[in-house]
């Protein structure tokens, strides 16, 4: 949500920032609705003042026996009351129009975000690890002999349709161990607070973080109105929905492991093989609620937390800054972390870490009270994967694959597997 006062003060700057995202100027439309809303409010207040004045004079006219003046004033009171109600209704209608328009306008990019049209214009800022040199042609995860017994897409299709999977045996255990490893690392080493939240939320929670109204088709809604979360960013961020918190409670750093649900409405035909793009998947999600002065530094901190998981697992990756044309709706700056997948011979996104400024906080009406006193201010919010569990499983399997179809598992994961170190060619964890 955007600050209407900032748009009034500098509409040209607002339009210029949106133009970097390929969006046409909209400030004139915003300000026209805002002016109509303010005019209606002023008219309602004027009518109410005139009604109040006439109401006081009615009694005096009656007392002095001036029946004509009494009737005139009584009619005036009724007319002004009707006029006030009409103007209040108009003001509300214009306010609703303004809110709906602002809700559909994406966040403004920071000045240091690179300009560009799509993912080809993203800028690499960091790279870690060297992709392994294989003495054989590496396979994708679903083609590995040791993986096939524990990764069943046919049964999943029978149960639920396309883009689902049934995991079992050693593969399922590695998947679970990865989530536990991520959670424990973020809690014990990175200082995040472990949180467990619902996966069904009210519509206003989806509005608060920006999934609605524009992107409803990308998510699932139940018949009684709940929405299934596309990520626990929705629930973790909305913990402060409608609250005014004390500054000394900031930053608030949360981490949660949850099921996530996405319809993938705009990705027909993309990444249909294997586990890369599923309707139901798991993520370990990080969310930070911060003071405005500290949010930019927090973005770098959260990026480091996500990168650290990959480094502990020995998985090569690179980090890119998304350009203006590839950045998400609610973000002001986003760092995508892409892990190396030898089966595809390329880097693929495994984490996206974004700073949203006060964009989500305005939608949620989430503020903080400055420690030194003064008017409450809007919080800043950030979110990021730490990491996508299924994609991390893919990376572990593909990077650790052996020529016989077995998989050597990262040493960092061994304690969460009770000392097991490899997935054999027949799918046994040993």
Q: What are the b/e assignments for 238-273, b being 16+ CB within 10 Å? A: bbbbeeebeeeebbbbbbbbbebbbbeeeeeeeeee
Residue 23 marked in a binding site: no
**Which is catalytic among the residues 20, 173, 262, 363?**
262
Count Cβ atoms below 10 Å from residue 125 Cβ, excluding itself.
Answer: 11
Is 332 a catalytic site residue? no
Residue 288 marked in a binding site: no
Residue 267 marked in a binding site: no
**Which is catalytic among the residues 391, 398, 406, 422?**
391
**Exposed, middle or buried by CB within 10 Å (0-12, 13-18, 19+), for 334?**
buried
Is 194 a catalytic site residue? no
Q: Are 363 and 416 in contact (CB under 8 A)?
A: no
Residues 206, 89: Cα–Cα separation, whole Å: 27
Q: Strand locations in 342-379, DSSP E?
A: 346-355, 367-369, 377-378
Residue 219 marked in a binding site: no
Residue 168 marked in a binding site: no
What are the residues whose beta carbons fall under 8 Å from the beta carbon of 357, sequence distance 6 or more? Answer: 107, 292, 295, 332, 380, 381
**Which is catalytic among the residues 27, 258, 352, 406?**
352
Which DSSP string corresponds to 258-289?
EEEE---TT-TTSS-STTSS-SEEEEEEEEEE
Residue 285 marked in a binding site: yes
The first and second tokens of residue 235, run together, are 């629930």
Is 349 a catalytic site residue? yes
**Which is catalytic among the residues 57, 311, 349, 377?**
349
Number of H helices, E strands in the chain: 11, 18
What's the DSSP call for residue 342? Answer: T
Residues 347, 329: Cα–Cα separation, whole Å: 23
Is 262 a catalytic site residue? yes
Residue 239 marked in a binding site: no
Residues 300, 345: Cα–Cα separation, whole Å: 28
Is 5 a catalytic site residue? no
Residue 406 marked in a binding site: no
Residue 349 marked in a binding site: yes
Residue 350 marked in a binding site: yes
Q: Which residues are annotated as a binding site?
A: 231-233, 262-264, 285, 349-352, 383, 385
Q: Which residues are annotated as a binding site for L-serine?
A: 231-233, 262, 285, 383, 385
Residues annotated as catalytic (active site), given as ranges: 262, 277, 349, 352, 391
Q: Which residues are annotated as a binding site for ATP?
A: 262-264, 349-352
């Amino acid at each position: 949500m955007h600050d209407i006062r900032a748009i009034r003060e500098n509409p040209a700057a607002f339009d210029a920032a949106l133009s970097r995202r390929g969006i046409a100027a909209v400030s004139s439309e915003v300000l026209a609705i805002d002016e109509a809303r303010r005019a209606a409010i002023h008219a309602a207040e004027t009518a109410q003042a005139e009604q109040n004045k006439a109401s006081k004079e009615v009694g005096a006219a009656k007392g002095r026996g001036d029946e004509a003046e009494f009737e005139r004033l009584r009619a005036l009171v009724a007319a002004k009351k009707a006029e006030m109600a009409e103007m209040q209704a108009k003001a509300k209608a214009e306010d609703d129009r303004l809110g709906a328009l602002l809700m559909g306008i994406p966040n403004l990019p920071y000045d240091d975000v690179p300009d560009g049209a799509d993912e080809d214009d993203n800028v690499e800022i960091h790279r870690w690890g060297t992709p392994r040199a294989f003495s054989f042609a590496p396979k994708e995860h679903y083609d590995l002999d040791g993986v096939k017994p524990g990764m069943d897409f046919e049964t999943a299709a029978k149960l639920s349709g396309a883009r689902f999977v049934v995991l079992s045996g050693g593969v399922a255990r590695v998947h679970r161990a990865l989530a536990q490893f991520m959670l424990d690392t973020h809690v014990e080493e990175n200082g995040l607070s472990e949180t467990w939240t619902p996966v069904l939320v009210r519509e206003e929670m989806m509005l608060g973080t920006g999934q609605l109204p524009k992107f409803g088709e990308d998510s699932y809604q139940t018949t009684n109105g709940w929405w299934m979360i596309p990520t626990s960013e929705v629930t973790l961020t909305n913990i402060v929905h409608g609250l005014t918190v004390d500054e000394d409670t900031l930053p608030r750093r949360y981490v949660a492991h949850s099921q996530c649900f996405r319809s993938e409405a705009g990705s027909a035909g993309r990444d249909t093989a294997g586990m890369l793009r599923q309707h139901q998947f798991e993520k370990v999600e990080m969310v930070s609620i911060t003071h405005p002065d500290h949010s930019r530094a927090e973005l770098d901190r959260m990026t480091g937390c996500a990168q650290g998981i990959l480094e502990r697992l020995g998985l090569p990756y690179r980090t890119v800054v998304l350009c203006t044309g590839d950045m998400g709706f609610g973000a002001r700056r986003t760092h995508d972390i892409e892990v190396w997948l030898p089966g595809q011979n390329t880097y693929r996104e495994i984490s996206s870490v974004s700073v949203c400024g006060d964009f989500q906080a305005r939608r949620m009406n989430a503020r903080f009270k400055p420690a030194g006193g003064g008017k409450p201010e809007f919080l800043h919010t950030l979110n990021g994967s730490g990491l996508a569990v299924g994609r991390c499983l893919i990376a572990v399997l593909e990077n650790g694959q052996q020529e016989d179809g077995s998989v050597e598992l990262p040493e960092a994961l061994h304690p969460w597997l009770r000392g097991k170190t490899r997935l054999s060619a027949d799918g046994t964890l040993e």
